[in-house]
Amino acid sequence: MKFFVDTADVKDIRELNDAGLLDGVTTNPSLIMKAGRDIMDVTKEICSIVEGPVSAEVTAVEYSGMMREAEVLSKIADNICIKVPLTLDGLKACKALTSDGRMVNVTLCFSANQALLAAKAGATFISPFIGRLDDMGIDGMELIGEIRTIYDNYDFGTEILAASIRTVNHVKQAAMIGADVATVPPATLKALVKHPLTDKGLEAFLADWAKTGQKIG
């Protein structure tokens, strides 16, 4: 499974990338607002840190506006992935952009039928929102499984990018079902490494090592 981090915070992105954990980054208008920086400046900096896809989202809701904004965003860097909403205009833009050789992340997916249409439109990534479905009392992981089955049935190349991940269990479950990518908030991604037995074992090793009085190097 690939790991993307869902943030526009350059400090977190740099830390996780330096640790060798990042395959890409996803941003959206809300995350740009939280970062408090100009979208062009912060996105350009993110693209210079991470080699993989960096999703930058259009804000227009009609096809012509999406294409106009996509043209501007695409010029930021070669690893920009244009993010469009799962609407008819968004799918039309997706088809046009991917036909032109650009990466496209179709976002705000909440059903298998929507994911099927995105794949038909040539999406590079489809972003089903797990957490938001869970909030409604619907098992978001069932959607991941449904999309996986449909994509495998027809050998679609669109990658399933599990989004709106809230917990470390979401990550594990998405990986077991077969999501290609998980985009995860920085805190959740860092939490994946944590386990109390790891901490306890390390503490015991260090205590025993101190008793030997030895040093390495």
The residues assigned a catalytic role are 83
Cβ(130)–Cβ(174) below 8 Å: yes
Buried b / exposed e along 92-127 (16+ C-beta atoms within 10 A): bbbbbbbeeebbbbbbbbbebebbbbbbebbbbbbb
Question: Residue 128 carries which side chain, given as an amino acid letter?
Answer: P
Residue 114's H or E segment, with its range, is helix 112-120
CA angle in degrees (0–180, nearest 5) for 28-30-35: 95
Q: How far is CA 10 from CA 7, 37, 41, 81, 200, in A?
A: 8, 11, 11, 18, 32
Q: If we measure between CA atoms, which residue out of 198, 185, 159, 193 comes closest to residue 4?
A: 185
